[in-house]
Chains A and B, each alone.
Chain A
Amino acid sequence: MKRIWLLALIAVLGMAQAQKTVSLVWSGAITGPTSDVGAPYGAALEDYCKYANEQKLVPGYTLNCVIRDDQYQNPNAQRILEEALDKSKPVIYLGYSTGAMLQLKQLVNEIKLVTLPASAHIGLIDPPNTYMFLPTSSYSEQIVALLEYISKQNKGAKVALVVNPSPFGRAPVEDARKAAAQLGLNIVDVQEVGGNNLDNTALLKRLEGAGVEYIVHQNVAGPVANILKDAKKLGLDKKIQQLGAVYTGGNDLIRLAGEAAEGFLWASSYYLYDEDAPGIKLQKEISKKYGRPDAIAQSHNYTAGMLAASIAVEAMKRSVQRYGRIDKETVYNAIVSMNGPNAFKPGFAVSTKAGIEIDFTKSEQTGGEGLRVLQVKSGRFVSVTEPFISNLFRKVHGK
């Protein structure tokens, strides 16, 4: 009898041994500046990891997801990554802020660690780069796409760019200038506006005086909401159309700006919470399962985190299926072969006309290239364009 128990114990231990562990690491602003973006993003990664383990999405492996708060501090992000490299040996890194990612770009390329940042700064995938991949279109591509949208409505329009005073905000300015020149738009001013912009009268009156018809924002929701409210107060909401890239919009903007958000145009790759998409269905299921409050569950930043996590998990799954193991090399190979018939379609982001949602190659390191322009109508964002890819971005960038 004792022998049977011993054999059973060995069998159980053997099975436990067969279930290997693989790590991914993310650090971002769960607290501190931009935590309104970072907290739902991090929550989505955490939830998707739990879900992946429960559903055994990566056969034979248990995911060890190291989710840490770097408080939007570059030194913290670097310390967390270095600590993870020593201890948990991650095969994939999901980063966050523009500053930290630009700082760590060289390191992740040196150690050949596939990295999927939340930041969509184009400099992250500009050469020299092999291992950094953007889950969706870059800020620059979003802004150029918005300029293309403007030129279709009003050829020769006067446009002002209002950007965050940071590398995140300044990222698309150069490409926007080049694109505007080709589109026949006139960029009359580029202004930097950060948080705590309690009154924007001076900015708006000056832009009005310069005949600006469109303000394109590359910022976070707070400063944009304040500008929208001041524009409404000054009666400029009908005179100047405002538009913004992905982190300017979403539920936060509507919550903060209220009625002043009406008419705002937003470039985003993600499906909205009230849309019928497979990814959104999963998002609802997962957020409910893990008891997330509505403010997080319905945030497009939660969707963004879900998308990044799903790409990472899919790459691991394909590593196992193709190579029988997961390491940094197989994850890289799985990511760069995610194209053509092997493109990934988790249903969190819109697909291009070719029906492709997420694809990567060695030279094309942007996953979801499709985006839509959405507009606030009766207190909610609705799509005003079909999904499209910017025609001009690749012609002007780096030229």
Chain B
Amino acid sequence: MQYFLQLVISGIVVGSIYALAALGFVLIYKASRVINFAHGQYIAIGAFSAYFFATGPKLPFVVSAFLALVLTAFLGFLTERIFLKKLVGQPIISVIMVTIGLASVLDGLMHLTPFGASNYTFPKFLPQGGVNLLGLQLDYAQLLAVAFTVLFLVLFSLFFQRSTLGIAMRAVADDQMASLSLGVSVEKMFALAWAAAGLTAAASGLVVGTIAGLNLGALTSIGLKVFPAVILGGLDSISGAVVGGLLIGVLEKLAEGYLDALVPGGGTSYVFPFVILLVVLWFKPHGLFGTEEIERV
């Protein structure tokens, strides 16, 4: 039982990171029906800019992390203003191709910096050790992952339910024409969604960087690794992203703990979540919490 609990808790920690990264996908898709294939690059930019602020001007890590969040959010905002604003109304494949191109450009730009091809670690900002939960050891970096996910989930829930901007964003996601006729600036809402996605990307970059160090390839690939979480939860559901992320994380760890021993070489954790994903999509094609769209002719 202790072993099972250990696996579940490990899964929740990893799943929290997936959920945090998945939030960025969902925010953009929810507002503009665009899948951002450059999300992994924003995760890397968030992590590396925090590292830069902490080691270049030697700012305290909390300040560096805050600046990284703001910078990445601003970058998300700028991306929408510069590249995507002009594509409103264009075929969705054009927009997707732009995000794929953007990923290549951002990758290339990062390779022009020293961060492109080396490994780094954040300066120590968490205390040594961790907490013991029912006999299970959790270090502070892992707790940070869970805390960030909960914090962002609460903040976004409040934002979407209580603030005028949040309600306007939901309205745009629901019906763009109706929102326009009510005086909501759809363009602004799109830009805001990209900024919010940049914020969550930076947050997940900070968490991944704290746990596993900073490596461009590893950070950008997280952006794609969370796809099953997003699809499982439903592309346009914030709570779905969180549940999807946690489910994928827990399934990965359970597969690693119980199935790897039965398969030569192991590696079932890479496959098992996708098997579950296929089964879920068989019964719920829009994901667990995705909006079912019915087209009537």
Interface residues of chain A, those whose CB is within 8 Å of chain B, are 30-36, 38-40, 165, 189-199, 201-203, 205-206, 209, 221-222, 225-226, 233-235, 252, 255-256, 258, 293, 295-296
Contacts and interface: CB of A to CB of B under 8 A. Distances in A.
A196 B218 contact: yes
A205 B213 contact: no
B21 to A, nearest CB: 11
* Minimum-distance CB pairs A-B, first 7: A39-B117, A202-B256, A202-B257, A35-B117, A256-B213, A201-B10, A191-B266
A296 B115 CA distance: 12
Contacts of B254: 202
A34 to B, nearest CB: 8
Given A31-B117, A34-B217, A198-B14, 10 more contacts: A31-B108, A36-B118, A195-B221, A196-B212, A196-B225, A198-B13, A202-B7, A202-B269, A222-B213, A258-B121
Interface residues of B, number: 44
Contacts of A295: 114, 118
B58 interface: no
A199 B253 contact: yes
Contact of B260 (A40, A202, A235): A202
27 contacts: A30-B117, A31-B116, A35-B111, A35-B116, A36-B119, A36-B215, A189-B261, A191-B265, A191-B266, A191-B267, A192-B267, A195-B217, A195-B218, A196-B212, A196-B222, A198-B13, A198-B14, A198-B208, A199-B142, A201-B10, A201-B253, A202-B253, A205-B7, A222-B218, A226-B212, A234-B137, A258-B121
Contact of A256 (B119, B137, B221, B270): B119
Contacts of B216: 35
A205 B3 contact: yes
B91 interface: no
Contacts of B57: none
Instruction: Please indicate which of the listed interface residues A39, A191, A193 has the most CB atoms of chain B within 10 Å of its own CB.
Output: A191
B13 A199 contact: yes
B257 A199 contact: no
B83 interface: no
B70 interface: no
A234 to B, nearest CB: 6
B72 interface: no
B281 to A, nearest CB: 23
A31 B139 CA distance: 33
Contacts of A196: 212, 218, 221-222, 225
Which of B17, B213, B216 has the most CB atoms of chain A within a 10 A radius of its CB? B213
Interface string B242-262: 000000000001101100110
B247 to A, nearest CB: 15
A255 B119 contact: yes
Nearest to A295: B118
A101 B89 CA distance: 47
B80 interface: no
A162 to B, nearest CB: 9
A36 B117 contact: yes
A198 B217 contact: no
A199 B265 contact: no
B120 interface: yes
Interface string B1-31: 0010011001001100100000000000000
Contacts of A193: 266
Given A191-B265, A225-B213, A203 B256 contact: yes
A239 to B, nearest CB: 14
Contacts of A293: 114
B217 A32 contact: yes
A255 B213 contact: yes
Given A195-B218, A255-B119, A222 B212 contact: yes
A202 B10 contact: yes
B107 interface: yes
Contacts of A31: 107-108, 111, 116-117
Contacts of B269: 202
A273 to B, nearest CB: 15
A227 to B, nearest CB: 11
Contacts of A202: 6-7, 10, 253-254, 256-257, 260, 269
A295 B113 CA distance: 13
B211 A198 contact: yes
A262 to B, nearest CB: 14
Contacts of B14: 198-199
B264 interface: yes
Contacts of A34: 217
B119 A252 contact: yes
Contacts of A194: 270
Contacts of A235: 137
B130 interface: yes
A295 B111 CA distance: 15
A203 B269 CA distance: 11
A234 B211 CA distance: 15
Interface string B201-234: 0000000100111011110011001000000000
Given A198-B17, A199-B253, A255 B121 contact: yes
